[in-house]
Amino acid sequence: MTKSLVIGQTNVGKTCFAINFADYLGIKELKFTIRQPAGFLSKQTYELQTALKELVCPEEHTTKEIQEIQLKLPAGKGYQRVNLIDSCGLIEGIHPQEEIRLAMAQTLRKIQESNIILHLIDLSKLNTRRLKELPELDLEIYNYCKTKKCYAILANKIDLKIARNNLEFLQERLGHEIIIPISALYQQGFKEVKKFLLKNL
């Protein structure tokens, strides 16, 4: 089955996107397969609201493992299946906690195994940088994935005013065609994400 990895810095909205995108596709019960960095595998089923409450959080590194959900995308008279993989957020430099370092290494391994990369960038964070420059980590993901993988940037938190101002900067810097503006929280831009996935399954 096609594997689509949701990747990005910590706290950009990866888990919120994975859960709400599943909701958008009509999934009532979220069945996660959880892969710990040490290799242990478990399953967990959530109601939508419980998943949002327990797994989405303003703290950094809420997700410390791989969380996979199987999605069915309506295509013609049938469905196309895709495995949506939520991952531990990445940071620049070396994290002091071993648990997080191992989880980040697991995320990096998943890049190799995945067919499609959905790279989330938090638009609202872009202008906290003095030169309005893109974070090095996002540039590295972009440079690696754009040539090797089927790749899109999901420019997240477009519901925030500050984010809308920064979208233009991102588009100028990396090109319009690769960027899909979304709000993971309010399910905006999901039609375009679905279209992108269907085109590439």
Ligand X SMILES: Nc1nc2c(ncn2[C@@H]2O[C@H](COP(=O)(O)OP(=O)(O)OP(=O)(O)O)[C@@H](O)[C@H]2O)c(=O)[nH]1
Residue whose CB is less far from ligand X, 53 or 195: 53
Residue among 141 and 174 whose Cβ is closer to Mg ion: 141
CA distance 36 to 66: 7
**3-state DSSP: the chain helix, strand, coil percent, rounded to 5?**
40, 30, 30
Closest distance of CB 12 from Mg ion, Å: 9
Does residue 4 bind Mg ion (CB under 5 A)?
no
| Of 24, 9, 2, the residue nearest 141 (C-alpha) | 9
Q: What does the binding site for ligand X look like in residue numbers (CB under 6 A)?
A: 10-16, 56-58, 60-63, 89, 156-157, 159-160, 183-185
Q: Per CB under 5 A, does 15 bind Mg ion?
A: yes
Cβ partners under 8 Å of residue 61, min gap 6: 10, 88, 89, 95, 100, 103
Q: Which of residues 63-92 bind Mg ion (CB under 5 A)?
A: 63
For the CB of residue 24, give the shortest distance to ligand X in the complex, in Å: 13
Q: Does 107 bind Mg ion (CB under 5 A)?
A: no
Task: Choose between 23 and 80: whose C-beta lies nearer to ligand X.
Answer: 23
Query: Where are the extended beta strands (E) located within 105-168?
Result: 116-122, 150-156
Our CB check for Mg ion shows the closer of 59 and 177 to be 59
Closest contact distance (angstroms) between CB of 186 and ligand X is 6
Cβ-contact 63, 14 below 8 angstroms: yes
**Strand 78-86 to 2-8 pairing:** parallel
Given ligand X, Mg ion, none, residue 57, with its beta carbon under 5 to 8 Å by kind, binds ligand X
Torsion of CA 120, 123, 128, 134, to 10 degrees: 60
Q: Which residues bind Mg ion (CB under 5 A)?
A: 14-15, 62-63
